[in-house]
A and B are shown apart, each in its own frame.
Chain A
Amino acid sequence: MPNLAFDTAHLFAGGLVLVSFVLLYQDRLTSLLNIYALHAFVLALAVAWQADIQNAPHLYVTAALALGFKAIIIPVALRRIVERLGIHREIETVVGIGPTMLAGMALVALSMVVMLRVTAAAAPIAREDLAFALAVVLLGLLIMVTRLNAVSQVVGFMSLENGLILAATGAKGMPLVVEISVAFSVLIAFIVIGIFLFRIRERFDTVDLAALDQFRGERR
């Protein structure tokens, strides 16, 4: 049943966009991290489904990585850091939730218009995946620019990266996907260790980037 394969892939990819929207309006760090774990879980489902319908067993590695590393280890580690720093209550945002959601909708519409138009020649399953993936990437960027807090910026970056993995697995037969997902996991591990080190060294009193931004080198 080719339609079932297509519809399920569509469902998971669309689900990822939906969870990105949920990330967009979270105003507490702990719930943001929970939703991020859900985001990674949906990604793992989407990638595993792609591995099944493409007959590409190596993609199961990427799916397992998404499930074990991104959906469990990273959220747990970040939650511990957040608790230790005592910043689990509120997130400072630059713009209100209303305008952010409107901007998010505009970005999703933009990615649909752009990607569906330019990929007319590609296979329909890859088209939809790419369009959804671009939406997740743009929403991740939006999360990064509307948050002042370092941890939530990292969550934004990680959701952006989930969009990239979705795009890479959706492009049928793309080589090096596993290697790229491992490379990204290393990058994320570095970021998380970085946050942790900042805390250990106690160089920063806060992980609120607005407070770090006093330094420009010019005003000393």
Chain B
Amino acid sequence: MSDLVFARVEWVILIPLGAAALLALLPGYRLTARLNVAAAFLTLLAALSLLFTPHPAAGTYLLVDDLNVVFIALNTFVGFTTSVFSASYVGHELETGRLTPTYLRFYHAMYQLLMCAMNVALVANNIGLMWVAIETATLTTILMVGIYRTHEALEAAWKYFILGSVGIALALFGTILVYVAAQPVIGEGLNAMVWTKLVAQAGKFDPALLNVAFIFLLLGYGTKVGLAPLHAWLPDAHAEGPTPISAVLSGLLLNVALYAVLRFKMLMTANAGAVAPGPLMVTMGLVSLIFGAFMLYRRRDIKRLFAYSSIEHMGIITFAFGMGGPLANFAGLLHMTMHSLTKSGIFFAVGHVAQAKGTQRIADIGGLTETHPWLGWSLVAGVVAIAGLPPLGIFMSEFLMVSSTFARAPGLAILLVLGLLIALGALFLRLNGLAFGEPRGQSHPVKASYGPLFAHLALVLAAGLYLPPQLVAWFQHVSQLLG
């Protein structure tokens, strides 16, 4: 099977790259929106073919292993569903005149370039290449956040620009330090930046240098994950950009940055003398969780509300990976997958809600289940899922996390549960006003695409009810890899 032409890792990079070039040249909404969906679908197929074929040998630049295949599959799947949602979303934005055809062309090209950059970051076997890919992904999202060119959008893009640039600058310093640590052992040149070679030799690196490098990498890539106190760009960027971009930011880009942190965490654990990266990640995760949970109470903008919820959930995932061990890692992986699906699903619903109501202010949105029953009830389902109620997928992962933490560190488990409960209260408080009661505010008909939304919610529900044994075995295997 491995000689299948299609099952090559390069395709997940080349398809979006080619599509980006093509979409930059082609005019017309109908054609380009469909082409965008088609390109995302082809990328998804290419990614799925990687799942079912044996991994190719690791190269100097590219690598496919059991860990990043999970990320690539999730990345391309959400990328595909978001492109379907985006087609109907931008159609409405064109009608209302918030986007012009020129900007639309730019938007589609940037969307595919972002998918390309994220896939490069995921399959990179070279820590320098990974850095360049994450920088490119940051640049494309900055441009898309500012695409509406309102005062608020430009300010959000500027803030994201400055904070994101500082983050990636710190990450680069960490990357250079890793190279300096590797160079005496592996020798000069490209080999000392190849991740598989680094991790094989990590035991011989200077532990003190690795410690400093990891601090820089955690702070740098942690800015992109949105961990408190480095999160300041995240709510603005989510609230002011087009909603498909909020979905991709929350569902995917934060994961890609976290993936980079995980790769370097594996490097740290391979060195016996280096400081354990776990406690650092646990602390940052818990701080983000509790901070995010409290901040949920004072939100007045619906997209900001769910942006803070993303900070909270990235905190939970970082906490789980920081705890380490097979069970916590399993819970972390499951939670990451479920959060990506649920949160992008919620943003699909929120995007249409904001279009139907003509506003993002929570005070002007009310009684959605009466005026827009389908949208309203799917938003309710999404919030129930993200709050972690049974029988949905996030309940499963949070339950696993809490129970495994209770066995090892009861004090931390109490903080974790506290954060989860605070967030649950805030979400239901807001949901009550949004979905039930007297209809408030204006109401426009909206041609929504429910396909992606229902697909995500169905997957989250299915995962909560029954996880296929193959998937469980796969995740268990990856959890062991993560150590």
Q: Judge whether A171 and B301 touch: CB under 8 Å.
A: no
Q: State A117–B299 Cα separation when bound (angstroms).
A: 46
Cβ–Cβ < 8 Å partners of A117 in chain B: 208
Cβ–Cβ < 8 Å partners of A133 in chain B: 173
B158 at the interface (CB under 8 A from A): yes
Q: State A135–B427 Cα separation when bound (angstroms).
A: 44
Select B166's contact among A114, A141, A176, beta carbons within 8 Å.
A141
Select A122's contact among B155, B180, B299, B301, beta carbons within 8 Å.
B180
Q: Judge whether B189 and A130 touch: CB under 8 Å.
A: no
Q: Can you list 20 A-B contacts (CB < 8 A)?
A: A118-B208, A118-B212, A121-B206, A122-B183, A130-B176, A134-B173, A144-B166, A164-B169, A168-B176, A171-B179, A171-B180, A171-B183, A174-B179, A174-B192, A174-B193, A183-B132, A194-B158, A201-B149, A218-B298, A220-B361
Q: State A137–B177 Cα separation when bound (angstroms).
A: 14
Q: Measured between C-beta atoms, what is the minimum distance from B170 to chain A in Å?
A: 8
Q: Judge whether A176 and B128 touch: CB under 8 Å.
A: yes
Q: Chain A 189-202 against B: per-residue CB contact (8 Å), 1 yes, 0 no? A: 01100100010010
- State whether A176 and B169 are in contact (beta carbons under 8 Å apart), knowing that A118-B209, A191-B161, A218-B301 are contacts in the complex: no
Q: State A212–B157 Cα separation when bound (angstroms).
A: 12
Q: Which residue of A lies closest to B299 (CB)?
A: A218
Which residues of A line the B interface, CB within 8 A?
114-115, 117-122, 126, 130, 133-134, 137, 141, 144, 150, 153, 157, 160-161, 164, 167-168, 171-176, 179-180, 183, 186-187, 190-191, 194, 198, 201, 203-204, 212, 215, 217-218, 220
Q: Judge whether A175 and B165 touch: CB under 8 Å.
A: no
Most chain A CB inside 10 Å of its own CB: which residue of B139, B154, B190: B154
Select B177's contact among A130, A161, A175, beta carbons within 8 Å.
A130
Most chain B CB inside 10 Å of its own CB: which residue of A126, A172, A175, A190: A175
Cβ–Cβ < 8 Å partners of A144 in chain B: 162, 166
Q: Judge whether B154 and A204 touch: CB under 8 Å.
A: yes
Cβ–Cβ < 8 Å partners of A119 in chain B: 180, 206, 209
Select A215's contact among B135, B155, B300, beta carbons within 8 Å.
B155
Q: Which residue of B lies closest to A171 (CB)?
A: B180
B65 at the interface (CB under 8 A from A): no
Cβ–Cβ < 8 Å partners of B166 in chain A: 141, 144, 157, 160
B129 at the interface (CB under 8 A from A): yes
Q: State A183–B169 Cα separation when bound (angstroms).
A: 11
Select B151's contact among A118, A190, A203, beta carbons within 8 Å.
A203
Which residues of B line the A interface, CB within 8 A?
126, 128-129, 131-132, 135-136, 139, 142, 149-152, 154-155, 157-158, 161-162, 165-166, 169-170, 172-173, 176-177, 179-180, 183-184, 188-190, 192-193, 206, 208-209, 211-212, 235-236, 239, 298-301, 304, 361
Cβ–Cβ < 8 Å partners of B192 in chain A: 173-175
Q: State A118–B149 Cα separation when bound (angstroms).
A: 46
Cβ–Cβ < 8 Å partners of B129 in chain A: 176
Cβ–Cβ < 8 Å partners of B176 in chain A: 130, 164, 167-168, 171, 174
- State whether A179 and B208 are in contact (beta carbons under 8 Å apart), knowing that A126-B180, A171-B183, A212-B155 are contacts in the complex: no
- State whether A175 and B169 are in contact (beta carbons under 8 Å apart), knowing that A203-B149, A204-B154, A217-B236 are contacts in the complex: no
Q: State A87–B150 Cα separation when bound (angstroms).
A: 23
Q: Measured between C-beta atoms, what is the minimum distance from A43 to chain B in Å?
A: 15
Cβ–Cβ < 8 Å partners of A118 in chain B: 206, 208-209, 211-212
19 more CB-based (< 8 A) A-B contacts, given A173-B192, A198-B158: A118-B208, A122-B180, A122-B184, A137-B173, A157-B169, A160-B166, A164-B169, A173-B189, A174-B176, A176-B126, A176-B128, A176-B193, A180-B132, A187-B135, A190-B139, A198-B154, A203-B150, A217-B235, A220-B361
Q: Measured between C-beta atoms, what is the minimum distance from A17 to chain B in Å?
A: 15
Cβ–Cβ < 8 Å partners of A164 in chain B: 169, 172-173, 176
Q: Which residue of B lies closest to A174 (CB)?
A: B179
- State whether A180 and B184 are in contact (beta carbons under 8 Å apart), knowing that A137-B173, A191-B165, A201-B149 are contacts in the complex: no
Q: State A164–B170 Cα separation when bound (angstroms).
A: 9
Q: Measured between C-beta atoms, what is the minimum distance from A149 to chain B in Å?
A: 12
- State whether A194 and B184 are in contact (beta carbons under 8 Å apart), knowing that A176-B129, A217-B301 are contacts in the complex: no
Q: Which residue of B lies closest to A167 (CB)?
A: B176
Q: Judge whether A157 and B152 touch: CB under 8 Å.
A: no
Q: Judge whether A180 and B131 touch: CB under 8 Å.
A: yes
Q: Judge whether A157 and B165 touch: CB under 8 Å.
A: yes
Cβ–Cβ < 8 Å partners of B170 in chain A: 137
Q: State A31–B234 Cα separation when bound (angstroms).
A: 34
Q: Judge whether B139 and A187 touch: CB under 8 Å.
A: yes
Q: Judge whether B132 and A179 touch: CB under 8 Å.
A: yes
Cβ–Cβ < 8 Å partners of B161 in chain A: 191, 194
Q: State A59–B300 Cα separation when bound (angstroms).
A: 52
Q: Measured between C-beta atoms, what is the minimum distance from A35 to chain B in Å?
A: 20
Q: State A137–B216 Cα separation when bound (angstroms).
A: 12
